[in-house]
Amino acid sequence: MNQHVLIVEDEKSVAELLKDYLQAAGYEAHIIANGDEVEPWVRSNAPDLILLDIMLPGKDGITLCKNIRSYSQVPIIMATAKVDEIDRLLGLELGADDYICKPFSPREVVARVKAVLRRTTNNNPTTCALITVDKQGVRVLVDDIDLAFTAVEFHLFTALYSQPGRIFSRDQLIKKIYDDHRMVNDRTVDSHIKKLRLKISKAKLGMDLIHSVYGIGYKYEEL
Ligand code: CA
């Protein structure tokens, strides 16, 4: 049976375009334009994923995401018209699985839908058998080989690793790794992440673990 995506979007042309692309990619798609109609539909139809616009007539996307999370773990991708808003959304910890920024290309949306479904339908997404985190030794091992992270890299890695798929903004990462985060800027995080990824790539896992999320920050995903 095809996986079923609910598109919550009040711009008809955008919604129809997404629906066409999702159907072409093999998904069933249903459109709802009014926020008030979303929850009853979700309860009775149990979609496999929800694409959720924020600005809607009726209940807005933020309220809907919170409400739905109180009874369902259905994957949710939130769409926002402002890049700046994503940081604020992350801070609200709504439990969305991904965020996309408008205007988006339908192709990108389909790619995100696939990635989120792959991650969330995988029964054991959190542990890669090859990776060992040695907290006491402040080491990360891949196949018993020490990746030789610095302390900062170790803390960055474990922050991301402990919550696979969750997107962290640079600010959130800074707060996790430094006591005095006022001294650090976004570029510092980027440069540590760059070194971290280089060390991971040298371990030749055959996949990347730390992914940048354009305009937002980083996440851990075994892809
Ligand atoms: Ca809208």
- For residue 177, give the CATH number of its domain: 1.10.10.10
Q: Is the pLDDT of residue 20 over 80?
A: yes
Residues 166 and 104 in one domain: no
Residues 14 and 110 in one domain: yes
Q: Is the pLDDT of residue 153 over 50?
A: yes
CA of 11 to the centre of ligand 1 (A): 6
Q: What is the pLDDT of residues 108-134, one digit of tens each?
A: 999 999 988 887 775 444 444 478 888
Q: Which residues, by Cβ under 5 Å, contact ligand 1, an ion?
A: 10, 53, 55
Helix (H) or strand (E) holding 92: helix 83-92
Domain that residue 118 falls in: 4-122
Mean pLDDT over each residue of the chain, to the nearest integer:
87
CA of 55 to the centre of ligand 1 (A): 4
Last residue of a domain, one of 80, 101, 122: 122
CA of 17 to the centre of ligand 1 (A): 14
CA of 104 to the centre of ligand 1 (A): 13
Residues 90 and 154 in one domain: no
Q: Is the pLDDT of residue 1 over 80?
A: no
CA of 195 to the centre of ligand 1 (A): 39
Residues 111 and 15 in one domain: yes
Contact 49, 76 (CB under 8 A): yes
Q: What is the pLDDT of residues 195-207, one digit of tens each?
A: 999 999 888 777 7
Domain count, the chain: 2
Residues 117 and 212 in one domain: no
CA of 139 to the centre of ligand 1 (A): 46
Residues 136 and 104 in one domain: no
Amino acid identity of residue 134, one-letter, is: D
Structure token pair of residue 192? 């540590």
DSSP state of 36: G
Contact 181, 174 (CB under 8 A): yes
Q: Is the pLDDT of residue 29 over 80?
A: yes
**How far apart, in Å, do the first and last CA atoms of the chain sit?**
25
* pLDDT (mean) for 137-159: 89
pLDDT of residue 125: 41
Last residue of a domain, one of 66, 97, 122: 122
pLDDT of residue 180: 64
Contact 27, 5 (CB under 8 A): yes
pTM, to two decimals: 0.62
Residue 3's pLDDT band, with cuts at 50, 70 and 90, is very high
pLDDT of residue 122: 58
Residues 111 and 9 in one domain: yes
Q: What is the pLDDT of residues 45-104, one digit of tens each?
A: 999 999 999 999 999 999 999 999 988 889 999 998 877 787 788 778 788 888 888 888
Last residue of a domain, one of 67, 102, 122: 122
Helix (H) or strand (E) holding 169: strand 168-169
Residues 67 and 101 in one domain: yes
CA of 220 to the centre of ligand 1 (A): 29
Structure token pair of residue 171? 């600010």
Residues 216 and 184 in one domain: yes
Residues 84 and 146 in one domain: no
